Amino acid sequence: MVFSYAALRRFPDVEAPNLQAWDATDELLVQHALAAGVAGEEIAIVGDEYGAITLALADAGLAGLRVHQDLATGRRALARNAEALGLAGFRSHELEASLFEGARLVLLQLPKSLAELAEITDAVARWAAPEVTLIAGGRVKHMTLTQNEVLARSFEHVQPQRAERKSRLIVASSRREVSASPPFPVTARIEVPGRDELLTVVAHRGAFAGAKLDIGTRVLLEVLVAAGTGATVVDLGCGTGALAATYALTHPEARVIATDRSAAAVASARATMHANGAIVDVAHDDAGSEIPDQSVDLVLLNPPFHLGASIHTGAATRMFEAAARILKPGGQLLTVYNSHLAYKHELSRVVGASEQLHRTSKFTVTRSIRH
């Protein structure tokens, strides 16, 4: 019986008519894996957004599959889809040795970030079986020659395949020798508004902005010095944790929570807190789902406007709804966003009365009071 990809859902991620839980790349990766005849316990899967690869292989009878998904939403979608389809035979891992040890075949949905790709391919070359083959795939419109160059740093043979249904696979084999220590995470010392001392930022692979302070966060910090205080503060979508760490260090009396749906971001934020001696609770969570309702005084937010490779306003709206849920009545949400997105009306609708606090040529900072 042919596996039904159409039965898969993205939930709890955003769902819409133009968003689906699989694409042709997933199907091509599954076809190549089944043709390779490798046992399930010798297969590692990376970047399986909603479980399409893992569950199709499990449905084909493979067991012992190892899978790494960066996003909390992806992990929850995989678990829900597996339960709905009555499938098992896989185990989730972080991006570490246990994911790859003994793996002879690694299936990879290509990430957007070249840094993330570099960390993944180094990990495969570092920990997988000597004879490992890495099959990476993506939508042709998002693929670049630079991705081949990154793969070639860790593998001697990198062979792009013919495009099919607007997707393409790349087969990498003959792993190269790796450095004595992994190239990630990276560390930098940066200046941040509101703090005299430099802040140490630690960044793994795909963490947004890497070991730098992105412009939006800098603008929000400039406003935060004068505009925001609270006994319980949440950095919603914390990235490397620069915002939460700065707040915690400048407001030691506050309880600060940092959450992100990206495992790479969470690992980065935890390392950033440790490097600076900042006391912050860091959680791998989807839009603060584990934070109790009406328990927070202040939410800090630099929302995304992409869902994978798609631009979709639902990404920001989910964050606004999360902030509205966890804020106490009268609590504040400080949001920074690209000015052309004009989120003020949406913030007023979802959260409460909103005002512009600051505006630059690129970014706007608003304050919303929870009604």
Q: What domains sit in the chain, N to C, each tagged with a CATH number?
A: 5-175 (3.40.50.150), 186-369 (3.40.50.150)
Contact of 236 with 285, CB cutoff 8 Å: no
Q: Which of 351, 235, 353, 242 is nearest to 298 (CA)?
A: 235
Note the pLDDT of residue 107: 98
Query: pLDDT (tens digit, 9 = 90+) per residue, 200-223?
Result: 999 987 777 778 898 999 999 999
Is residue 348 predicted with pLDDT exceeding 60? yes
Note the pLDDT of residue 310: 43
Confidence of residue 33 (pLDDT cuts 50, 70, 90): very high
Q: What is the pTM of this model?
A: 0.91
Least confident of 104-108, 272-276, 316-320: 316-320
Mean pLDDT of 125-144: 97
Note the pLDDT of residue 321: 96
Q: Decide: residue 228, CB within 10 A, 0-12 exposed, 13-18 middle, 19+ buried.
A: buried
CA 96/CA 76 separation, integer angstroms: 20
Note the pLDDT of residue 209: 73
Is residue 308 predicted with pLDDT exceeding 70? no
CA 202/CA 181 separation, integer angstroms: 16
**DSSP assignment of 87-151:** ---EEE--SSHHHHTT-SEEEEEPPS-HHHHHHHHHHHHHHS-TT-EEEEEEEGGG--HHHHHHH
Mean pLDDT of 117-140: 97
